[in-house]
Amino acid sequence: MSTLVRWEPFRDIAQMQSEMSRLFDGLLPSRGRSAQGWVPALDVWETDGDVVYAFDLPGLSENEISIEVADDTLTVTGERRRETKEESDRYFRYERRYGTFSRAVGLPAGVDDSKIVASYENGVLEVRVPKPDEAKPRRITLGSLPADVEAPSAN
């Protein structure tokens, strides 16, 4: 009795592309990494009052991290430097990423950026963004104009 296996060409192509990328990254370690060496992992969740962004930044001190908010975008940048290499050391594998990084994420519209707080502990940067107040509809009554405004004339 023979077993049939369904052929999924797109999965095979994606797997081959992943393997080729890994191969070329190993052969050409500087390919595409001159401007940015790595991208930190990010978790996002919400509480009753906040949206919380947690960035994994192991090996960095607080003064090596920059946090900016502009146009409803939170941007975290920094640089992780490689320790001095000793000539007697023999490295067999390089997996940790070094160099500059930048990670930008969108914030909810209407956030008051003066109330954003950040903390850094055990290599995790946590940024708490208070949720904006929900816009409440305003009822407008017909036929009532302020005293200093003239009603338009019907011509």
- At residue 57, does pLDDT exceed 80? yes
SS3 track for the chain: CCCCCCCCHHHHHHHHHHHHHHHHHHHCCCCCCCCCCCCCCEEEEECCCEEEEEEECCCCCHHHEEEEEECCEEEEEEEECCCCCCCCCCCCCCCCCCEEEEEEEECCCCCCHHHCEEEEECCEEEEEEECCCCCCCCCCCCCCCCCCCCCCCCC
* Dist. CA 90–CA 86, nearest whole Å: 9
Averaged pLDDT, 93-121: 86
CB 58 within 8 A of CB 122: no
State the fold for domain 35-82+94-130: Immunoglobulin-like (2.60.40)
State the number of CA atoms in the 13 A half-sphere of 66 facing the CB: 10
- At residue 27, does pLDDT exceed 70? no
pLDDT for the residue 116 = 94
Per-residue pLDDT tens for 123-151? 999 999 998 887 678 888 887 666 666 66
pLDDT for the residue 37 = 67
User: Of 27-36, 61-70, 144-153, where does mean pLDDT reach its minimum?
Assistant: 27-36
Averaged pLDDT, 38-65: 91
pLDDT for the residue 38 = 79
Select the more confidently predicted residue: 154 or 119: 119
- At residue 94, does pLDDT exceed 80? no
pLDDT for the residue 78 = 92
Per-residue pLDDT tens for 31-46? 444 445 678 899 999 9
